[in-house]
Every structure is written in C-alpha cells, then in structure tokens.
Amino acid sequence: MVDSGIFATTAEIGYKAGQYCSATSKAEAYTNSFIAQAESRINAETHYNWSDTYSGLNADVKAILKEAASNLAATYVISYDMSGFTSRAEAQSMIDVLLYNYAACIKILKDQVTKDFILEA
C-alpha cells in the first residue's frame, strides 16, 4: 500500500503523533483514511477545494496544507488508542497542541486577504 493522501504522508503524521501511539493507528491503511478525512474537512472548513488545485499551488501554501492535514490526522492516530502513552494527560496534551496548530492553519487559509495572496503566489 502507498500513501494516498494529497497534503501529507504517513511519515509526517507519525512524526506528530509521537512514539507512543499504537502501531495499528500509525499503519498506512489507517493514516490513509485519516488523511482523506482531514483533507476533506480542510476543504469544507475553508470553503475551497485545495485538493483540486494542489498541484498548481506554491510551496508555501502546500506547507500550510501539509501542516493542517498532518496535525488533524495525528489527532486521529493518537485518539484511536491512547494506551501506549505514559498517561492519558500526555496524549491529551499532544492532541491539544495539534488542534491549536490546526486551527491556526485554518484561520490562515480562511482569511480572504491571505487566500487572495496565496492564490496569486
């Protein structure tokens, strides 16, 4: 099986999910599903289909999409099974940081002035 996501890879999601998440939830079959969900959510939340225009975007925009998608998908990986973490609080703290950064990316992508700048880059 190969990575099927557009914005991020299994490896990038694994980096953010950390060493203590379950091997099952970090497996490519799972992360392919998680990344597809994250990409669809990003498109819906920003009211723009970044997936369809991805190949024509500049590197900076792709990096923002990669950050947003890998952050959200990593929360799914962690949430799937928190038993490997040293505590549930540790896992929750990681999720909180990832969701904070995801929200910051979405704010950038939703801002019309930024979106105009991005699409003209």
Cβ pair 98, 71 in contact under 8 A? yes
Domain ranges of the chain: 10-120
- Cα–Cα distances (Å) from 24 to 19, 31, 77, 80, 118, in that order, read 13, 10, 9, 9, 36
Tell me the two tokens of residue 104: 């910051």
pLDDT average, residue stretch 30-56? 94
Residue 1 scores a pLDDT above 70: no
pLDDT of residue 112: 73
pLDDT average, residue stretch 22-32? 89
